[in-house]
Amino acid sequence: MVSLKRTLLLFAVVLFAVAPFTLAAAEGSHAETPKTQAEEIQEYSQHHLQDDHYFSLYTDKKAGKHYGFPLPVILIDNGLKIFSSGEFHHGETVVEKGGQHYKLYHGKIYKTDAAGTLTYDEHQHPTNTKPLDFSITKNVVGLLLATVLLFWGFLSLAKTYKKGANALPKGLGRVLEPLVLYVRDEMAVPNIGHRYKEFMPYLLSVFFLIFVLNLLGLTPLGFNVTGNITVTLCLALFTFVITNVKANKDYWKHIFWMPGVPVPFKFVLAPIEVLGMFTKPFSLMLRLFANITAGHSVVMGLIAIVYLFQQQLTVPGSIGVSLVLTLILTFLELLVAFLQAFIFTMLSSLFIGMAVEEHVHH
Query: How confident is the model over 36-47, as a mean pLDDT?
Result: 62
- 3-state per-residue secondary structure call for the chain: CHHHHHHHHHHHHHHHHHHHHCEEECCCCCCCCCCCHHHHHHHHHHHHHCCCCEEEEEEECCCCEEEEEECEEEEECCCEEEEEHHHHCCCCCCEEECCEEEEEECCEEEEECCCCCCCECCCCCECCCCCEECCCCHHHHHHHHHHHHHHHHHHHHHHHHCCCCCCCCCCHHHHHHHHHHHHHHHHHHHHHHHHHHHHHHHHHHHHHHHHHHHHHCCCCCCCCCCCCHHHHHHHHHHHHHHHHHCCCHHHHHHHHCCCCCCHHHHHHHHHHHHHHHHHHHHHHHHHHHHHHHHHHHHHHHHHHHHHHCCCCCCCCCHHHHHHHHHHHHHHHHHHHHHHHHHHHHHHHHHHHHHHHCCCCCC
User: Does the structure show a pLDDT above 70 at 13?
Assistant: no
Residue 2 lies in a domain: no
- For the chain, the residue count is 362
User: Does the structure show a pLDDT above 90 at 267?
Assistant: no
The predicted pLDDT at position 213 comes to: 92
Q: Do 155 and 128 lie in a common domain?
A: no
Q: Do 188 and 120 lie in a common domain?
A: no
Q: Which residue has the higher pLDDT, 331 or 306?
A: 331
Q: What is d(CA 44, CA 50) in angstroms, rounded to the nearest whole number?
A: 10
| Least confident segment among 53-57, 215-219, 342-346 | 53-57
Q: Among residues 135, 167, 195, which one ends one of the domains?
A: 135
Q: Do 60 and 144 lie in a common domain?
A: no
Residue 319 lies in a domain: yes
Q: Among residues 101, 135, 169, which one ends one of the domains?
A: 135
| Least confident segment among 7-21, 135-149, 157-171 | 7-21
Residue 127 lies in a domain: yes
Q: Do 53 and 110 lie in a common domain?
A: yes
Residue 39's Cβ-count burial label (10 Å; 0-12, 13-18, 19+) is exposed
Residue 165 lies in a domain: yes
Q: Do 181 and 325 lie in a common domain?
A: yes
User: Rounded to 5 degrees, what are φ and ψ at 89?
Assistant: 50, 50
The predicted pLDDT at position 45 comes to: 61
User: Which residue type occupies 23?
Assistant: L
Q: Do 244 and 156 lie in a common domain?
A: yes
Summarize pLDDT for 187-212 with one digit per residue, the tens: 999 999 888 999 999 999 999 999 99
Q: What is d(CA 155, CA 168) in angstroms, rounded to the nearest whole number?
A: 14
The predicted pLDDT at position 297 comes to: 75
Q: Do 255 and 311 lie in a common domain?
A: yes
Residue 88 lies in a domain: yes
Q: Do 59 and 191 lie in a common domain?
A: no
Residue 175 lies in a domain: yes
- pLDDT band for 39, please (50, 70, 90 cuts): low
Percent of the chain with pLDDT over 70: 75
User: Does the structure show a pLDDT above 90 at 182?
Assistant: yes
- pLDDT band for 344, please (50, 70, 90 cuts): very high
Percent of the chain with pLDDT over 90: 29
Q: Which residue has the higher pLDDT, 69 or 351?
A: 351
Q: Do 113 and 147 lie in a common domain?
A: no
Residue 4 lies in a domain: no
| Least confident segment among 106-115, 315-324, 328-337 | 315-324
The predicted pLDDT at position 173 comes to: 79
Q: Among residues 135, 154, 187, which one ends one of the domains?
A: 135
User: Does the structure show a pLDDT above 60 at 10?
Assistant: no
DSSP-assigned beta bridge partners for residue 198: none
Q: Are 89 and 53 in contact (CB under 8 A)?
A: no
Q: Which residue has the higher pLDDT, 32 or 62?
A: 62
User: Does the structure show a pLDDT above 70 at 48?
Assistant: no
Domain count for the chain, please give it.
2
Q: Do 264 and 202 lie in a common domain?
A: yes
Q: Do 145 and 291 lie in a common domain?
A: yes
The predicted pLDDT at position 245 comes to: 93
Mean predicted lDDT score pLDDT of the chain: 79
The predicted pLDDT at position 15 comes to: 39
Question: Residue 33 belongs to what domain range?
Answer: 19-135
The predicted pLDDT at position 285 comes to: 92
Q: Do 62 and 159 lie in a common domain?
A: no
Summarize pLDDT for 85-129 with one digit per residue, the tens: 888 887 888 999 988 899 998 888 999 998 888 888 888 888 888
User: Does the structure show a pLDDT above 60 at 31?
Assistant: no
Summarize pLDDT for 206-235 with one digit per residue, the tens: 999 999 999 988 887 778 888 888 999 999
Distance of CA 311 to the CA centre of its chain: 36
Residue 6 lies in a domain: no
The predicted pLDDT at position 74 comes to: 92
